Structure 1
Amino acid sequence: MSAAATGLGHRTSNARMLHRPAVGRPRYRLVCLHHAGGGPAAFAPWLRMLPDDVEIYALRMPGRDSRLGELQHRKPAAAVAEFLGIVGPLATDDVPVAYYGHSMGGALAYELYRALAEKGAPEPLYLAVGATAAPQRWASLPARLPEGDARQVLVDLLRAYGGTPPEVFDHPELLDVALTVLEGDFRLYDDYRPTLPPGPVGCPLVAFAGARDGMVATDDVRAWRECAAGPFAFHLLDDSHFFVESQADRILELLGDWAPMASKDTGAAPVTRTCT
């Protein structure tokens, strides 16, 4: 059993990411972008479950965790520019890279993919999004940030959406931090205006939806199919919006179908899949 499988894999961290290096030369790198109001801890189960020859970068946006003293990004372009500075060098060497973004992170992962493509970076192994509406559906989505005095509404949203530890609601200081982060991320979310028509995704595109997601409609996630210029897969999971943690094993199992593209031995590509 590998160190990663036992949860003993070596981890490093700095202000901008949670990083688990590979043991030896990486077979590929997985870059993860978290949801609104969250952080890289959402991907902690992934660090334990992925094989130890996979290097993982779970990026952290400012205004939370070890970046608590930093101002949150107000514009999506600023977030993408920061991520580009981190990921750009990784995307241009000879180790393949894959991307997964959840909810707001999915939109940012897509924009990061486009920014890298414009700079001539090689196509990644895959671009995967979870609980994220396709770009062409974004204009019809309701605003996330309530008008007026939003505090109680945001508290209710934190409770309804799940994903927030129960003890946060019992400590005013922790709750204030959580609400500030969520409000800032929702402003970023509401400000996002993808360029239309959406640019085609040439690498394999994988979309995950939660069957009981009260925030993002299944059809809006399935619509990523229209963005795919290459292989596309859609997976409907029996879960709510924050399945990034609760369904980690299933997500990684399904994404593993695309990992042979990074094989050091065969270079074999996976079979093309279609939307289900």
Structure 2
Amino acid sequence: MVRRPWDVECPDAPVRLFCLPWAGGSAVTYRRGWPQALAPDVDVHAVELPGRGAEFGEPLLRRVEPLLDVLTARIVPLVDRPYAVFGHSMGSMLGLELTRRLVAAGLPEPVRMFVSGSGMPGRRPRTEGSPLHELPENEFREWLRKTGGTPAEVFRNPELLDLVSPLLRADFELCDAYRHRPAPPFACPVTAIGGDDDPYVPVAALAEWAEITTGPFDRLVLTGGHFAFQEHLDRVHAFVAAALRTAVRGLAPTPAGPAA
């Protein structure tokens, strides 16, 4: 049997964590280290997007709604226990909209949401001038190099870069086309994570995420740029694990007293 990227990693864990990638990312970015760091208390489910990883060859989706249709169909059967959501950059927007879809379908809210490398989606343009997906190829690749989210080995391999570039353009087009629509806030706790030197998301923008919940909100500010969470994975893993242990304890029923 071929293992699919949405297969359950740790089916006996009390809480399931859905992890959504950034533009150009794939499920493999979360499969490396996350399940091992959070086991056995958290089942890490790395969400794959069409056109990458095990989904390579599937059409790239350039609008949010069709992508959410695909992801919702895959995720709904896995919401059979308390769950949480983690997303970075584009993944934060997808995590927000996917959660809204799940709740609209009658499923419970997550016990916790973690959003990284993003202010409120759709609040501000990503760039001045032409949208990123419309840049000439040489300018687009230079922007990717400066951003730091694309591994250096990709730039050393022209054939690999030729494969990655269309995927990234599709994701940036998806982000550029996204329009935020107000919706009722959740009640679950929300944590916004960011770098203190992120040129795209100032620390002050993290506070915008408080608007999506009536519950507790906090920030985790790390040293670094747009991918600061990747530079401090041990700290992020520890933070997420502790937050989810607390969330699950809060849901546990009170043990019955001794029999009379």
Q: Bin the TM-score by the shorter chain.
A: 0.7 to 0.9
- Counterparts in 2 of 1:153 and 1:19: CA distance versus 1, 3 Å: farther
**Residue 164 of structure 1: how far off its partner (Å):** 2.1
Offset from partner CA, 1:78-111 (integer Å, 9 cap, x none): 11111111111222x2x21111011001001000
1:134–1:224 Cα contact (<8 Å) kept: yes
Output the CA distance in 2 between the equivalents of 1:231 and 1:50.
Answer: 23
Aligned to 2:211: 226
Aligned to 2:235: 250
Q: 1:239 aligns with which of 224, 242, 245?
A: 224
Offset from partner CA, 1:161-219 (integer Å, 9 cap, x none): 113222211222101111111101000010111103x4312111111111111222222
Aligned to 2:257: none
Q: 1:115 aligns with which of 85, 101, 105?
A: 101
Output the CA distance in 2 between the equivalents of 1:264 and 1:224.
Answer: 23
Output the CA distance in 2 between the equivalents of 1:20 and 1:158.
Answer: 32
Unaligned runs of 5+ in 1: 1-11, 269-276
Give yes or no for the alignment of 1:203 onto 2:188: yes
Q: Which secondary structure state, in structure 1, belongs to the residue aligned with residue 33 of structure 2?
A: helix
1:168–1:174 Cα contact (<8 Å) kept: yes
Q: List aligned pairs for 1:63-142, cutoff 5 A.
A: 63-91=51-79, 93=80, 95-135=81-121, 138-142=122-126
Unaligned runs of 5+ in 2: 255-260
Q: How many residues align?
A: 249
2:133–2:169 Cα contact (<8 Å) kept: no
Offset from partner CA, 1:21-43 (integer Å, 9 cap, x none): 22x62211110000001112221
1:42–1:245 Cα contact (<8 Å) kept: no
Instruction: Supply the AA of the counterpart residue of 1:223.
Output: E
1:27–1:263 Cα contact (<8 Å) kept: no
Output the CA distance in 2 between the equivalents of 1:149 and 1:194.
Answer: 24
Output the CA distance in 1 between the equivalents of 2:138 and 2:161.
Answer: 11
Output the CA distance in 2 between the equivalents of 1:65 and 1:242.
Answer: 21
Aligned to 2:49: 61
- Counterparts in 2 of 1:157 and 1:19: CA distance versus 1, 3 Å: farther
Under a length normalisation based on structure 2, what TM-score does the superposition of the two structures give?
0.87
Q: 1:45 aligns with which of 33, 44, 47?
A: 33
- Counterparts in 2 of 1:266 and 1:152: CA distance versus 1, 3 Å: same
1:102–1:130 Cα contact (<8 Å) kept: yes
Instruction: Supply the AA of the counterpart residue of 1:38.
Output: G
Identity %: 31
Q: List aligned pairs for 1:262-273, cutoff 5 A.
A: 262-263=248-249, 266=252
Output the CA distance in 1 between the equivalents of 2:112 and 2:220.
Answer: 15
**Residue 20 of structure 1: how far off its partner (Å):** 5.5
| Root mean square deviation, CA, Å | 2.2
Output the CA distance in 2 between the equivalents of 1:219 and 1:141.
Answer: 16
Q: List aligned pairs for 1:169-180, cutoff 5 A.
A: 169-180=155-166
**Residue 48 of structure 1: how far off its partner (Å):** 2.4
Q: Which secondary structure state, in structure 2, belongs to the residue aligned with residue 31 of structure 1?
A: strand
- Counterparts in 2 of 1:205 and 1:86: CA distance versus 1, 3 Å: same
Under a length normalisation based on structure 1, what TM-score does the superposition of the two structures give?
0.83
